Chain A
Amino acid sequence: MMIRTFIPLAALLALAGSARAQERPAQAVIDAYLKSTFGKASAEWQARIKPDDSLAVCNTTRNNPSSAQSDEILKRESARVVYPADGKLLGNWKNGYQVANNGRGGQFSDPPGTVAGGNCFACHQLDPKEVSYGTLGPSLAAYGKDRKYDPETIKDAYTKIYNSMAVVPCSNMPRFGVNKVLDEQQIKDVMAYLFDPESPVNK
């Protein structure tokens, strides 16, 4: 008992830190398991579970990157955002609803050529009249209206949808543009669903 009180706090923290680091097996060990389970998939599918530099940090830190790692992710991911050449960020809100409501695409059960949706309702409240919405993400009801349709906010939202990690390092949200889940027009349409004053989101 006496001895324990003399161990400096910093040493205890270091011990706890090393113990926790040991919990995660070597990447080579983890990769061997992944190969056993997913190794028969095509090269294209295998590439999808090979983390890029940002995601690799999210995996080893359980989405809690250090401040330095966060800066690196923000810098790297911001450089990957491609804004529309025509400068227009808002498309058609009715088409945007279709994208937000579509949960297909990217699953091994989807037939080739399936048009992927954003599946926004799976995680977010959008149209307040829709009762079937998820809660993994924040409510986006009245999103544009509450932000007075501010142009800077509109640009930030485009950035977030195109590449969530350019805004929040290790965000849980998919990187829809970077990972080519949605094309530019689909993102513009979802943007209109959020920011068009006529959209049910803002009614």
Chain B
Amino acid sequence: MKLPIIGAAALAAVMIVAAGPLTAQSPPQDDSEKEIERYRQMLSDPFSNPGFLAVDRGEALWSTQRGARNVSLEACDLGEGPGKLEGAFAKLPRYFADADKVMDTEQRLLWCMQKIQDLDTADVVKRRFSGPGVASDMEDLVAFIANKSSEMTIQPQLSHPKEKEMAAVGEALFYTRGGVNDFSCATCHAEEGKRIRLQGLPNLSVKGRTAQETMGSWPTYRVSQSALRTMQHRLWDCYRQQRWPVPEYGSEALTALTVFLQKQAEGGEIKVPSIKR
């Protein structure tokens, strides 16, 4: 899917205009919330979403021959069969018999790089989050793969015992407090209509629309970071703000939380890559 991109300057101008009322003196809360919503809608225009650049890069990477075997990822089975991408992301994370593990998209991609391409993934993991001048293969590939499930619904896979365990552990982790501030996910995401400063917080403790809209909008292009980010980055950043230790990329607790959150978001429409603040 190739879409023209409006320049960063135009996007920045939109941001400034939209952000203006936020800093105005004591606006009634309803007005500022309306402005935030208007700003979000402007950002959701796919023709101004640089996240689609990541989709294009991911598409190219998917068919690039790499690794000791010099083959592409096109034989990678993301759950729907080798090379079948349509709808695969909507059912991830899920159990993979060949690995005897529940894996999210990132874990499965790393597995395919190792098993199919015989690629040393150390460098890929080192570049797991893009930054100025550093592209992330993982972010680009996930953007491409997720986009192949866009406009489909979130279908959590919970039939295998290991998938059930993941969902249960993820739920327990959601309520597990720690770090110097005793924070858990639930500290911020278990009540309706709460904010940190002016930032609204989705209540992810209950199934329904809020969880669906949240999970259905990742991966996303983060304007404030000028980068396409996946759920791996979102959870990494949540744990950072929770004052927890650095979570290992593509590890079990993150996948468990993702399974739990997908369960909360069951049936939600996937519209990705989205664009957020």
Q: Which of B158-201 contact A (CB under 8 A)?
A: 165, 168-169, 171-173, 175-184, 186-188, 191, 193-199, 201
CB distance from A61 to the nearest CB of B (A): 9
Contacts A33-B252, A181-B180 given; indicate if A62 touches B188 (C-beta within 8 A): no
- Summarize A's interface: helix, strand, loop or mixed: loop
With known contacts A59-B176, A106-B179, A106-B180, A37–B240 Cβ distance under 8 A? no
Asked whether any CB of chain A lies closer than 8 Å to the CB of B122, the reply is no
Known: A131-B26, A134-B196, A134-B197. A46 touches B245 (CB 8 A): yes
Rounded to whole angstroms, the CA-CA distance of A58 and B241 in the bound complex is: 20
Question: Assuming the A-B contacts A24-B168, A36-B248, A108-B240, are A49 and B187 also in contact, with contact meaning beta carbons closer than 8 angstroms in the complex?
Answer: no
Q: Which residues of B contact A58 (CB under 8 A)?
A: 177, 182
The size class of the interface chain B forms with chain A is 35 or more
B187 touches A59 (CB 8 A): no
Q: Which residues A153-168 have CB closer than 8 A to chain B? A: none
Task: Judge whether A123 is part of the interface by a CB distance below 8 angstroms.
Answer: yes
Q: Is A129 an interface residue (CB 8 A)?
A: yes
Give, as a whole number of angstroms, the nearest-CB distance from A119 to chain B: 8
Docked pose: A105 CA to B181 CA in angstroms: 10
For residue A172, give the distance in angstroms from its CB to the closest CB of chain B. 5
> Does A141 touch B at the CB level, under 8 Å?
no
Q: Quick check: B181 and A181 within 8 Å, CB to CB?
A: yes
Interface residues as binary, A44-68 with B (CB distance below 8 Å gives 1, 0 otherwise): 0110111100010011001100000
**In the assembled complex, which residues on chain B have CB atoms less than 8 Å from the CB atom of A116?**
180
Q: Assuming A174-B181, A174-B182, A175-B182, is B197 touching A122 (CB within 8 A)?
A: yes
Which residues of A from 10 to 43 have beta carbons under 8 Å from B? 23-25, 29-30, 32-34, 36-42
Measured between beta carbons, the chain A residues less than 8 angstroms from B131 are none
Say if the beta carbon of A180 comes within 8 Å of chain B.
Answer: yes
Query: A154 CA to B175 CA in the complex, in Å?
Result: 32
Say whether A136 contacts B187, CB under 8 Å: yes
With an 8 A cutoff between CB atoms, is A93 at the interface? no
A103 smallest CB distance to B (angstroms): 9
Tell yes or no: B46 within 8 A of A by CB: no
Interface residues of A in 130-155 (CB under 8 A from B): 131-136
A49 touches B196 (CB 8 A): no
Say yes or no for B84: interface residue by CB 8 A criterion.
no
Q: Which A residues lie within 8 Å of B1 (CB)? A: none
Given A48-B245, A134-B197, are A37 and B252 also a contact pair (CB < 8 Å)? yes
A106 to B240, CA, bound (A): 9
Contact (Cβ within 8 A) B248 A179: no
* Residue in A33, A108, A175, A179 whose Cβ sees the most chain B Cβ within 10 Å: A33
Is the CB–CB distance between B177 and A51 below 8 Å? yes
Is A106 within 8 A of B182, CB to CB? no
- Selected from A23, A32, A136, A180, the residue in CB contact (under 8 A) with B196 is A136
Residues of chain A within 8 A (CB-CB) of B253 are 33-34, 36-38
- Chain B residues with CB under 8 A of A174: 180-183
Residues on A facing B (Cβ under 8 Å): 23-25, 29-30, 32-34, 36-42, 45-46, 48-51, 55, 58-59, 62-63, 105-109, 116, 121-123, 129, 131-136, 172, 174-175, 179-181
**A-B pairs, 4 with minimum CB distance:** A41-B245, A37-B253, A49-B178, A36-B252
> 18 A-B pairs, CB-CB below 8 angstroms?
A24-B168, A24-B171, A25-B169, A33-B169, A33-B173, A33-B252, A34-B253, A36-B251, A38-B244, A38-B253, A39-B248, A40-B248, A49-B245, A109-B240, A131-B32, A135-B194, A136-B201, A172-B187
Query: Hey, which bits of chain B sit against chain A, CB under 8 A?
Result: 25-27, 32, 165, 168-169, 171-173, 175-184, 186-188, 191, 193-199, 201, 240-241, 243-248, 251-254, 256
If A59-B177, A131-B32, A179-B180 are given as contacts, then 18 extra A-B residue pairs at C-beta distance below 8 Å, sorted by A number, are A23-B168, A23-B171, A24-B168, A24-B172, A25-B165, A29-B169, A37-B252, A39-B248, A49-B178, A51-B176, A63-B175, A106-B243, A108-B246, A132-B197, A135-B194, A135-B195, A136-B187, A174-B183
